[in-house]
Structure 1
Amino acid sequence: MARGVPWKMIAANVLADILQIGDKEVLVIDSRSFLEYNSCHIVDSVNVCCSKLVKRRLQQGKVMVTELLSQACHHYKLVPRSRIIVYDQCTSDPLVLSPDCFLSVLLHKLVSVFFRIELLQGES
């Protein structure tokens, strides 16, 4: 786990190796905006809507993270042991994330359901 957070950081080269192997047990989540996702994204990643409304609904428990993911990834069977790798624009240190930012909210909700959550380490 990264210092002080309940998820691990993963380097880009490690993710590249995982994707080359074609591990079907890995779900890659793009937490950027839909516009950024459509512009460029990691192959086979899924985009979760990062709107203020979705963030607020996640925080208030009005939508479960599993519901959010099931809408985004119809082809993937989610189970608690699923390996989930999340990425954003360029976060290199998870300690600088504001507790109120979408990525932080998403990661904490994922950790409450899944055992293996990792954050792609961005360039600093």
Structure 2
Amino acid sequence: MVFQLRIEQRHGRVFVGWNEGKIHFPPTYKYSNNSDRYAGEDRHPKEKRRTPAWCDRILWYGRGLYQLSYVRGESKFSDHRPVYSVFSAEVESINCSRIRKSMNCSRSRIEAEELLPQSHGYTELSFF
């Protein structure tokens, strides 16, 4: 069930701080091989009935990430349907040439706290 993961997240039991977009696609599991039918829809007496489920999910963690799309693919190679997502990400640009000029070596490790305000939450930068 789609909501089971979200209920556990709300109670702080799993994936604390992680995000997931709204799901607007049908369940991604359990399909009959090479078909668009869920396993058990055309059930034979000895075939086990499976409840369709949203087993394939995309969660993300961090600031500056924005989900633009969240869709189900239609590949029929498995009993699962793949899930795809597109994100935009905010990134901070740093003038590396200015930093390198202030250093007397070409390979350096610089503590970011010396370069950036602490509000950015970065801990270190590496330049090679």
Structure-1-length-normalised TM-score: 0.22
Max Rg structure: 2
Q: Larger helix proportion, structure 1 or 2?
A: 1
Structure of greater relative contact order (alpha carbons < 8 Å, 6+ residues apart): 1
Structure-2-length-normalised TM-score: 0.21
